């Protein structure tokens, strides 16, 4: 019987890794020496960075959705099932009815916003972390003529630039419609600066001040009253709103917590260089599922290169020598016309931030290139 690699999670990270492995190991798959099993819950694959484009009516839903089976290499066995337990002690993952043994496991289960962590938040807030949420927010913003829009941001969250990007694009969106003067826009965030990367935070602060976007640090949201449209913080302050857009703290996938593998927020403790789960040499982790000291998002492509290189070497009986240096990158839209580009790694932060129409065009090209990246063609 051949070896089996199970890839858990059919988002960008999981699909990319499964496809990269299949392209590298075609001969082993054809000979029956290896099986690559990709397990995911959803038959649809969503380009999640495209949600903001849907919010501002720049893209339609059908432009950011594909059938998962259309993206998967023919050498990958694709299964739709909901995994409830990961059992490293038995080298298997388990759904309600089936147990899937593995020789090597790749955990790419992502992260999710925790709207249940603050009373009243789920009933009160709009968001852009699902296609349904993006569509509701699009319609809510289209109907706004005046009033107060409160953007409440907590950490950690996926999409390292998404909250700032939303605020800056929203400002431009409202100005283009000629209604910005009648709207009070406030960005409230849980940290002491607008972004954890100081150069990004400093740049955003100057943009907010130029555009009249109010901002409040150390915003600890305690509860929300959906009827009175009031947000209450831990220090007793009351913040009225007409539209609340929330970026709650994210958690790892429930299967990680239910399996006892996660930290306090459900992220898998991961070696920062090898991308292996701490304490298990046969389990690899990447993307938002890790607890690495990096922004959520923007790193899966680079992590997949290292992970696949090492796993292929291992299967060929060679040493695993590829090391992940923390590399990541993301575009940061500064308006509906301009964007910046941020690159980083463990030892290097961006020295400054600038935006341009050319970078905005490059950001727009992410969508078609994404489908090639996730199929491991680029």
Q: Residue 90, by phi and psi: left (phi above 0), alpha (psi -120 to 50) or beta? A: alpha
Rounded Cα distance between 303 and 326, Å, is 8
Question: Poorest-confidence range of 76-85, 199-208, 292-301?
Answer: 292-301
> Quick one: pLDDT band at residue 297, thresholds 50, 70, 90?
confident
Asked whether residue 356 carries a pLDDT value surpassing 90, the answer given is yes
pLDDT tens-digit map of 34-48: 999 999 999 999 999
> Quick one: pLDDT band at residue 378, thresholds 50, 70, 90?
confident
Q: Are strands 230-233 and 221-225 parallel, antiparallel or unpaired?
A: antiparallel
Q: Mean pLDDT across the chain, nearest whole number?
A: 95
Asked whether residue 108 carries a pLDDT value surpassing 70, the answer given is yes
Q: The pTM is what?
A: 0.95
**Where are the alpha helices (H) located in the chain, listed in sequence order?**
12-24, 26-30, 51-55, 121-124, 131-143, 162-176, 198-211, 254-258, 300-315, 357-364, 366-374
Asked whether residue 1 carries a pLDDT value surpassing 70, the answer given is no
Average pLDDT over residues 349-375: 88
Asked whether residue 351 carries a pLDDT value surpassing 80, the answer given is no
Question: 113: which 2 tokens?
Answer: 């916003």
Asked whether residue 95 carries a pLDDT value surpassing 90, the answer given is yes
Share of the chain above pLDDT 90, in %: 90
Strands across the sheet containing 99-101: 85-87, 92-94, 99-101
pLDDT tens-digit map of 63-86: 999 999 999 999 999 999 999 999
pLDDT at 177: 96
């Amino acid at each position: 019987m051949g070896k089996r690699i199970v890839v858990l999670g059919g988002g960008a990270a999981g699909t990319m890794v499964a496809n990269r492995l299949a392209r590298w190991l075609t001969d082993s798959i054809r000979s029956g020496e290896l099986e690559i099993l990709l397990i995911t819950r959803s038959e649809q694959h969503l380009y999640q960075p495209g949600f903001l484009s849907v919010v501002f009516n720049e893209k339609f839903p059908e432009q950011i959705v594909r059938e998962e089976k259309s993206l998967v290499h023919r050498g990958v066995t694709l299964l739709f099932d909901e995994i409830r337990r990961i059992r490293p002690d038995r080298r298997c993952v388990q759904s309600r009815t089936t147990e899937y043994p593995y020789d090597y496991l790749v955990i790419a289960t992502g992260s999710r916003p925790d709207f249940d962590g603050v009373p009243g938040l789920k009933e009160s807030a709009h968001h852009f972390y699902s296609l349904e949420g993006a569509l509701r927010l699009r319609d809510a913003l289209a109907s706004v003529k005046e009033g107060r829009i409160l953007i409440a941001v907590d950490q950690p969250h996926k999409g390292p630039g998404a909250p700032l990007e939303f605020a800056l694009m929203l400002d431009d969106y409202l100005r283009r419609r000629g209604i910005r003067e009648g709207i009070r826009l406030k960005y409230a965030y849980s940290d002491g600066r607008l972004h954890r990367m100081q150069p990004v935070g400093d740049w955003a602060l100057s943009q907010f001040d130029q555009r009249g976007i109010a901002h409040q640090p150390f915003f600890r949201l305690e509860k929300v009253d959906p009827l009175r449209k009031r947000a209450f913080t831990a220090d007793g302050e009351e913040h009225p709103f007409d539209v609340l857009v929330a970026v709650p703290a994210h958690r790892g996938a429930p299967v990680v917590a239910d399996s006892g593998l996660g930290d306090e927020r459900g992220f898998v403790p991961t070696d920062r260089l090898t991308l292996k789960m701490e304490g298990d040499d046969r389990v690899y982790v990447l993307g938002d599922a890790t607890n690495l000291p990096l922004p959520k998002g923007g790193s899966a492509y680079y992590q997949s290169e290292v992970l696949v290189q090492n796993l292929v070497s291992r299967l060929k009986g060679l040493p695993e020598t590829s090391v992940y240096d923390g590399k990541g990158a993301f575009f940061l839209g500064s308006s509906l016309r301009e964007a910046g580009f941020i690159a980083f790694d463990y030892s290097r932060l961006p020295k400054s931030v600038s935006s341009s129409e050319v970078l905005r065009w490059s950001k727009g090209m992410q969508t078609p290139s994404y489908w090639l990246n996730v199929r491991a063609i680029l």
